[in-house]
Amino acid sequence: KAGVTQTPRYLIKTRGQQVTLSCSPISGHRSVSWYQQTPGQGLQFLFEYFSETQRNKGNFPGRFSGRQFSNSRSEMNVSTLELGDSALYLCASRTGTGTSPLHFGNGTRLTVT
């Protein structure tokens, strides 16, 4: 079974631009979560989608948004990029129940200059 696929793997953007990251979950997984990882802050939860609905949201500004499609694929958008948005963005999927573990994709490395 194929794992979680994230595209692109690397991105370089300039301040003020916007970016869209894509995630395809493991087949059969209906929940997709997004995390931001930086050396100083560790894994920070952005949001989780289940059946096209946002189920949980972390403490990030409104510049960070996401959505999930009917095939469970998900996208995350960051508008008006800031230097501090440079990070590894990780997508993870799970079957949907709260007790099931997350399975992570390889991540998208975003650099904002």
Question: Which residues make up the interface to another protein (CB under 8 A)?
Answer: 31, 33, 35, 42-43, 45, 48, 50, 55-56, 88, 90, 98-99, 101-107
CB of 102 vs another protein, minimal distance in Å: 6
Distance CA(75)–CA(65), nearest Å, equals 9
> Which one, 34 or 112, has the nearer CB to another protein?
34
Q: How far is the CB of 46 from another protein (least distance, A)?
A: 11
Which lies closer to another protein via its Cβ, residue 70 or residue 99?
Answer: 99
Contact between 76 and 68 (Cβ < 8 Å): no
Provide, rounded to whole angstroms, the least separation between the CB of residue 83 and another protein.
21
DSSP string for the chain: ----EEE-SEEEE-TT--EEEEEEPPTT--EEEEEEEETTTEEEEEEEEETTEEEEE-S--TTEEEEE-TTS-EEEEE-S--GGG-EEEEEEEE-SSTTSPPEE---EEEEE-
For residues 17 and 54, which CB has a smaller minimum distance to another protein in the complex? 54
Please report how close the Cβ of residue 80 comes to another protein at its closest, in angstroms.
Answer: 26
Instruction: Decide whether 16 or 47 has the Cβ nearer to another protein.
Output: 47
